[in-house]
Structure 1
Amino acid sequence: MLADTSTAWSTACQDWPARLLAGRTLVPDLPLFEEEAARALRVFNRLRMPDVIGKPTMLDAGTNWLHPIVAALFGAYDAATNRRMLREVFLLVPKKNSKSSGAAAIMVTVMILNRRPEAEALLIAPTKKIADIAFKQAWGIIQADPELAKLFHPQKHIRTITHRRTGATLEIKAADTDVITGGKATYTFIDETHVFAKKSNAADIFVEIRGALAARPDGFLMQATTQSKEPPAGVFKAELATARKVRDGELNRPLLPVLYELPDALAENDGWKDRANWGLVNPNLGRSVDPEYLADELQKAEEEGAEALALLASQHFNVEIGLRYRTDGWIGGKYWEGAADTSITLAAVIQRCDVAVVGVDGGGLDDLLGLGVIGRCRTTKDWLAWHHAWAHDDVFERRKDIIVNLRDFEQEGTLTVAKSPTQDIDDVCEIIAQLDAAGILAEKWAVGLDQVGIPTMVDALSGIGVAGERVAAVPQGFRLNGAILGAERKLKDGTLWHEGSRMMAWVVGNAKVEQRGSAILITKQAAGRAKIDPLIGLFNAVQLMSRNPEAKRRSPYETRGVRVVG
């Protein structure tokens, strides 16, 4: 990354809501090298779309909204110093807005304009199928122009296109099947970052790509993506957050953020359902995006329920998905985000509460150990919940599909990776000992465990003096129904608060409900490979706090000292 980005090249666009509402470009005014920008636009606009009737040029196909992005990307190149002033572009745009077609056209454009001998260009598609389509699109663009067809050589079996004169190559890879490294690429385009970011080594690949740019100041990294179909996580969450901060003027980076997303007020109040707002985030509405198709899809999604609405909102309107769109999820999830209080810490529970209970769940080596602490506030009598989780290295080896999430939570500080076989149990006992030493751990039913129990946990608790009737076996399955219903009611009526961690939002989002007779079940079997242990820990604690426990009685001399009479 460039260490010295002048104010003139700042890509902050703090008036983006007004621009969006006015239908203006989200690319701010920049001191472009006009000759480079104009040259790139001439090339880009003359390219033909091979999969559209009549094979219109990019100019005639109605991709005008891409012009400011193309102009900024190529117009940021200083031919005198072979340095690109803007090294990255992050484009967030819904499906069907010629994103993939634009990607192929941009990469063909850079292959034509590239000055570096033997340069490597890389287009990363989310799946093998889309990679095949992307290659077909790029090669189709070239074949549509007889002069370009002479200039390039295709190798379809490895999805590679080579410039016959410069030796530069465009290689198209699939994120889900191909081995991807970015160590030598001068130009990289990532299509659907939210899918690519699920690769366990995605963070390392981003480091490689950016490392390559340090040695190739003429290069660039461009990302074009829709919103994630689930709450953003891992690398995608980080990349999106950085782009938003640059857009909002909180960071100054050589990155151009172009984010077609509704302002929060519209997104949170289902403003995306209003047909009048569709064109705000779909810049190609009426061309490659058919408004009647969106209307039909919205009607179907309304009939199918919240999950279908969430998918439609994320993919066609760039609405960031939270907990409230789950249909098979725990109804408490609907109120979870509204019950967040970031002031709640373990220390705050100790300071503010008169009594506390602890729920523990999980603990297998390929599982999480989940902890839920609930304290009863001295003044309001509200319940204050705090959570933590532990994972052994076995989880990372056997549950690769959630590694990205777990690393996020480790960074957040809500998940600890155990460095020894007993660290999780030792840490839980230390937390319980803190509560006991503060005089707020319940005198009876203080710690709730799965009825099957964790033998080593029971032994460890005995070692810190928490034993007998202070340790309760909490029946699971349908017998936990009361705690589940009680928790969701208290979340709704505003008497249960939690720390608002991303880890617990993910866990609550993983919870799936099964109806068994008159009872509802939230089980690990229903959640599948996703993790819900800290939530079950919370339910175990709810079960104990529902018994209206009292703190262990302490001698008055422990708190006020010895009174001398005389």
Structure 2
Amino acid sequence: MARRGKLDKAKAQHAIDFIQPLTHVKAEWAGKPFILFPWEKRIVTDVFGTLKPDGYRQYNTVYIEIPKKNGKSPFAAALILYLLCGDGEEGAEIYGAATAEEQANIVYDLASKMVMRQPTLRKRCKVLDSIFRIVYYPTGSFYQVVSSEPESKHGFNTHGLVIDELHAHKTRKLFDVLTDGAGDARRQPLFVYITTAGVDRNSIGWEMHERARQVLNGTRNEPTLYPVIYGPPDDDKEWDWEDERNWKKVNPSLGRTFGIEKLRTAYRQAKGNAAKESNFQQLRLDVWVKSTMKPIRMADWDECAGEKEESQAGTFVPPGKRKGKKGRILRYAQEDIEARLEGSFCYAGLDLSSVTDLTAGSLVFPGADGTYDILMRYWIPEDTMRDKEEKEGIPYRQWVKDGYLSATPGNVVDYAFIRSDLNGLRSRFRMEELAYDRWGAWLLVQQLMEDGFVMEKKEAGNGHPLIVPFGQGYASMSPAVKELLILVLGRKIRHWGNPVLRWNVDNLVLRQDPAGNLKPDKEKATNKIDGVVALVMALDRATRNVPEAESIYEHRGVTVM
């Protein structure tokens, strides 16, 4: 990941020089200096050495996701001791937490033994094993293990927090109590979450995983978050969990804390047993195996940005800040897309949000060759946009500036603005139909009918689009969802690199019923998917009404991804 602020090498080296004289306390490593592995050294350098213009640390949140046996607990203990004894913070309060006290005590046990083995720290610290506390006298600071019960955890003035195995937190109560406002009175608090992959996509662990992943791939702007994920990349077509080359990619301590034969043995024991295979992938390869998988790979989506022969008209934009990521994203200006499609016939979908949120519209233009062009419209209340950007890390204002998003006046969605936009689209393109979600749309539908939209098919045509209510259940959604997945794989759509739609697609989660039907799941999605919902509705109307655009179902079966 590209460094955001300026690197102060002296600050980084100070942290390294504090940690490396510590000693390991277990097994064959006991008594040996805590020499940082390359991946650990990079994290320490970036986190403690990257500074903002005011001289304080750039990053206040660190998310580390890594398979087991790579030394994450000793590394967490070393970070705790630096925050406690080496960071120079007066009255520092450092807290350690996990879902079970036993897990938090593992890190405490390592930290306390490191203190007792280091003569300088042993003189300056008091280890209180009975209450799981370490006191550092020179600055009046302490490190305290806290239990997993959130009710009693309030009033912290946190300088450092380390939560181990975040994926195992079934609710976010403890997380919220320990983090909400906890470091506000400190200049540079640091919250460290270190974990293996989990199985619950509704957990705070998955939420943090998604935040970190989106910072890595460039779809989220959160400059204070430092993300590290040693797991399968989003866009790696060659990923195979049984390939030893991939084992090495996601286990940075392989050959140091454990050997390849240990991993091979674990693999052989798991092979052929579905439950054990899932366990191996989760714990040893950092795969969220039981979570709802991404239905559309971003590498496949980016391949649908535009035709190669049209590439000179577009702008190539780096897909993210992750070092070594291949490929660049093709993005077209909104006005260029509209000019290209002007006068073409299309089908529209409209997903109206809650009044304070993002609202999306989609136009799908069928081509004679079975391809589909996509033109998106997004609206957001202007007065709430800034707060949402700061809280979510999503570049709404930049999207407004670039023409991909319209900010409507006030603090609620201005349906009069949307009404005007839809009428403008109707006059510029040959809009045949407009599909809409029945929820909350009746007033706007009535207004559109006053403008010339119709609800009777016999009245449609000649500039009078047919308004079609569209259900949000499996029966309505599933055919077009499956068609969308297949069209993406077949490179049969062109979305022209719209960054808001790309973000929606990256957030997409699908729910499946016992019969294999699919629909977008807004509840489980980590962020907004409104554009995909609007696209699915528009695509459904387009595929039902354009006989010359042969459906892929006619010559192949449905593929469920």
Q: TM-score, normalised by structure 2?
A: 0.62
Q: Distance between the aligned counterparts of 1:452 and 1:505, measured in 2? A: 22
Q: Distance between the aligned counterparts of 2:5 and 2:293, measured in 1? A: 50
Residue 352 of structure 1: aligned partner: 340
**Pick from 163, 173, 187: which aligns with 1:212?**
187
Query: How far off is 1:477 after superposition?
Result: 3.4
Amino acid at match of 2:20: L
Amino acid at match of 2:503: M
Residue 519 of structure 2: aligned partner: 522
Q: Distance between the aligned counterparts of 1:301 and 1:431, measured in 2? A: 56
Amino acid at match of 2:338: I
Query: How far off is 1:152 after superposition?
Result: 3.0
- 1:105-254 pair list within 5 angstroms: 105-108=78-81, 111-113=84-86, 118-123=90-95, 125=97, 127=99, 129=101, 130-142=103-115, 151-154=124-127, 160-172=133-145, 177=150, 185=159, 208=184, 212-213=187-188, 221=190, 223=192, 225=194, 236=212, 240=216
Query: How far off is 1:133 after superposition?
Result: 3.7
Amino acid at match of 1:511: L
- 1:212 is paired with a residue whose SS is coil
Cα deviation 1:155-180 (Å, max 9, x = unaligned): 67975421245422234568994868
Residue 413 of structure 2: aligned partner: 423
Whether the 8 Å contact between 1:262 and 1:281 is mirrored in structure 2 is yes
Indicate yes or no: 2:491 matched with 1:494: yes
Amino acid at match of 1:285: L
Amino acid at match of 2:31: T
Call closer, same or farther: CA 1:387–1:233 in 2, change over 3 Å: farther
- 1:441 is paired with a residue whose SS is strand
**Pick from 429, 435, 441: which aligns with 2:425?**
435
Residue 371 of structure 1: aligned partner: 361
Residue 512 of structure 2: aligned partner: 513
Q: Distance between the aligned counterparts of 1:438 and 1:74, measured in 2? A: 51
Query: How far off is 1:435 after superposition?
Result: 0.8
Q: Distance between the aligned counterparts of 1:507 and 1:88, measured in 2? A: 24
**Pick from 543, 547, 551: which aligns with 1:546?**
543
**Pick from 320, 328, 331: which aligns with 1:343?**
331
Indicate yes or no: 2:444 matched with 1:466: no
Residue 316 of structure 2: aligned partner: none
**Pick from 367, 382, 391: which aligns with 2:371?**
382
Q: Distance between the aligned counterparts of 2:213 and 2:258, measured in 1? A: 26
Call closer, same or farther: CA 1:280–1:467 in 2, change over 3 Å: closer
Query: How far off is 1:438 after superposition?
Result: 1.2
Q: Distance between the aligned counterparts of 1:75 and 1:462, measured in 2? A: 60
**Pick from 235, 238, 244: which aligns with 1:269?**
238
Q: Distance between the aligned counterparts of 2:259 and 2:301, measured in 1? A: 36
- 1:26-45 pair list within 5 angstroms: 41-42=20-21, 44-45=22-23
Call closer, same or farther: CA 1:89–1:200 in 2, change over 3 Å: closer
In structure 1, stretches of 5+ residues that fail to align are: 11-29, 78-82, 214-219, 246-250, 397-401, 551-566
Query: How far off is 1:373 after superposition?
Result: 2.3
Amino acid at match of 1:462: M
Residue 20 of structure 1: aligned partner: none
Residue 56 of structure 1: aligned partner: 30
Deviates more, 1:258-267 or 1:359-368: 258-267
Whether the 8 Å contact between 2:62 and 2:193 is mirrored in structure 1 is yes
Residue 504 of structure 2: aligned partner: 504
Whether the 8 Å contact between 2:507 and 2:526 is mirrored in structure 1 is no
Query: How far off is 1:541 after superposition?
Result: 0.7
Amino acid at match of 1:382: T
Query: How far off is 1:496 after superposition?
Result: 1.6
Call closer, same or farther: CA 1:226–1:466 in 2, change over 3 Å: same
Q: TM-score, normalised by structure 1?
A: 0.61
Call closer, same or farther: CA 1:355–1:70 in 2, change over 3 Å: closer
Amino acid at match of 1:339: C
Residue 475 of structure 2: aligned partner: 478
In structure 2, stretches of 5+ residues that fail to align are: 199-205, 307-329, 457-465, 548-561
Cα deviation 1:255-286 (Å, max 9, x = unaligned): 9x896859979944216643245345434325
The size of the alignment, in residue pairs, is 478
Residue 556 of structure 2: aligned partner: none
Residue 80 of structure 1: aligned partner: none
Call closer, same or farther: CA 1:531–1:107 in 2, change over 3 Å: closer
Query: How far off is 1:146 after superposition?
Result: 9.0
- 2:517 is paired with a residue whose SS is strand
Call closer, same or farther: CA 1:328–1:75 in 2, change over 3 Å: closer
Query: How far off is 1:95 after superposition?
Result: 2.9
Cα deviation 1:109-166 (Å, max 9, x = unaligned): 56455666x4415355564644444334323444567986674335679754212454
Q: Distance between the aligned counterparts of 2:6 and 2:41, measured in 1? A: 20
Whether the 8 Å contact between 1:41 and 1:71 is mirrored in structure 2 is no
CA RMSD of aligned residues (A): 5.9
- 2:67 is paired with a residue whose SS is coil
